Structure 1
């Protein structure tokens, strides 16, 4: 099965490294033109763009804070201008645990930060691309949830888990809302995925080993385990699929 996304324009938020970079490379490998979004890691974003161009693909990088509504609109405007057309594929990958904190210790500012970077960004980047997708006669939106949405996450990650649970529900609602415009909305929910800043920052060596021990396939995931499923959701092979969440966790959570 060869996925062909030739002439499709894709925006991948948070694609300067980790899962986002793997997704950007995968989509470009399928022929899509890619907007590599980043917040602060300009060097990483340029490395992603260079890797795509070196492989014969087309890509540009755009900086924006996707918790800021004005910057979100500017991001989408620049993305549409970059290739002279609207966005066909949106991957809402940007997100962060931010900080481990119990609810008892939670401040309002930290709570809002976690919600904004995970949920608010997904809502309003999606809102910004809808007019262009409608004008093009359709599109594909892929949201990023987490295994934490199902099991509540690890210690001190309750608000992060709640934001990822909200994304599961939002995906279903958007799928219904946008179906009549031929815009499909699906979601992926990764489990324990290494080679990411997330686990390098928030997961101890002991927690890593404990997590892997609970995975039936006997290993942690890598970003490429996510990127292929995202490409599938972006492609015609999933043309009759919307409102669904694909669990990618090595069997650690089975529905």
Structure 2
């Protein structure tokens, strides 16, 4: 049976690699590297750096071309489902052609594979399509953890919960009954669209990399700065990965 190692590799710093992740990499015969075009070439380069630094045995790499996702429009789930189906078809073809029975393939996932990443869902689609696969998941350090560490804050207040959500959900307003909300996948800067009265924000982009940017303060005072800095960084690099914590301020 073909075997996959789905490895969380942290938020961008190779030092985020756990001992377990390094051991898993060294079991891999084939590393499948997604190619998202020139815009995100830096992400592929970081994966290649991690492999070169930590793998101490012969291995080969296979490029996985990642199709573009259509604009979500009013059918977000339908568009994502179609996109995942196309990615799964690519994986199925490459796993069949490039991964022999008994070999281990590796997929390197930013952050942690269980948190706002669909690799596990896509691999399940591949198996449901008839390809015999077994896989193992190795957790990684998420951007949420790195965000808190860089700002030197706990995510939650004593005895209180946190909510992890998306920019699409936040656009409807700060969730009622919540104190601390972590926001991921916010391409539209939803923090600037909600009432800022009693909120503070802890924002970070390119966390764990040499290009890391951090901004924190009252949302009413720093929202404009974040929008400006974010736009400049996206223009410079061609892409951006950011996340933030919104928290009600205490009297």
Report if TM-score (shorter chain) is over 0.5: no
With structure 1 as the length reference, what TM-score do the two structures score? 0.37
Question: Counting helix residues as a fraction of each chain, which structure ranks higher?
Answer: 1
Question: Counting strand residues as a fraction of each chain, which structure ranks higher?
Answer: 2
With structure 2 as the length reference, what TM-score do the two structures score? 0.37
Q: Which has the greater radius of gyration? A: 2
Structure scoring higher RCO (CA < 8 A, sep ≥ 6) equals 2
